[in-house]
Chains A and B, each alone.
Chain A
Amino acid sequence: DTGVSQDPRHKITKRGQNVTFRCDPISEHNRLYWYRQTLGQGPEFLTYFQNEAQLEKSRLLSDRFSAERPKGSFSTLEIQRTEQGDSAMYLCASSLAETQYFGPGTRLLVL
């Protein structure tokens, strides 16, 4: 499978714990995006990388959130001191140009 992959697919954690998600984009794609999707809503943009540079961050991305793409390939999204309101599906997408291809998502549940 040469599509976008995400790991883990599901994560249950207790409030206050840190979690880290990984995204592996389609191999030749230089652009990588993170989105968050809550139940019944469309995905909302969080942040965007072009190669290793983080070019844009949404106001949704609080100080507890950090994303990296150290070598311009895979990316990680870390949430520190998780809160119940962080429970959502975290989606990664990649692109070469305007067409974005999404991964299967990581569903986070904060208890």
Chain B
Amino acid sequence: GENVEQHPSTLSVQEGDSAVIKCTYSDSASNYFPWYKQELGKGPQLIIDIRSNVGEKKDQRIAVTLNKTAKHFSLHITETQPEDSAVYFCALPKAGNMLTFGGGTRLMVKP
């Protein structure tokens, strides 16, 4: 089945710095790459996604880059704020669109 590896598992940054989280995958048929943010006690919330016909997508302080040749995609958060502190998950769809999630990255933004 699909294997998704996510790094790092924890990331601590100073407010205002950038954060980068990377996921690597094995299934070359993947063509949709979402990122979710999960706050304590809540369900995952989609924050950005990218499809394989583009290499980068940006939404304000959040961007996702995709390298299909190397089979990895990354989440970039610039000008981090304390409210960005959460667990972030990458995910990949399988047949039927069920998602396989990475192991998660706990991001801590220190004020």
List chain A positions with a Cβ less than 8 A from chain B.
4, 6, 31, 33, 35, 40-45, 48, 55-56, 91, 95, 97-105, 107
Contact = CB atoms under 8 A, between A and B. Distances in A.
Nearest to A45: B98
Given A98-B93, A99-B34, A99-B49, A45 B99 contact: yes
A104 B104 contact: no
B99 A100 contact: yes
Q: Which 5 A-B pairs have the closest CB atoms?
A: A42-B101, A102-B43, A45-B98, A102-B44, A105-B43
Nearest to B102: A42
B100 interface: yes
Contacts of B49: 99
Contact of B89 (A6, A42, A101): A42
Given A41-B103, A42-B103, A102-B36, 11 more contacts: A31-B97, A33-B99, A42-B104, A43-B89, A48-B97, A97-B97, A98-B93, A99-B46, A100-B34, A100-B97, A102-B44
B61 interface: no
Contacts of A101: 46
Interface string B26-62: 0000001010100001111110010000000000000
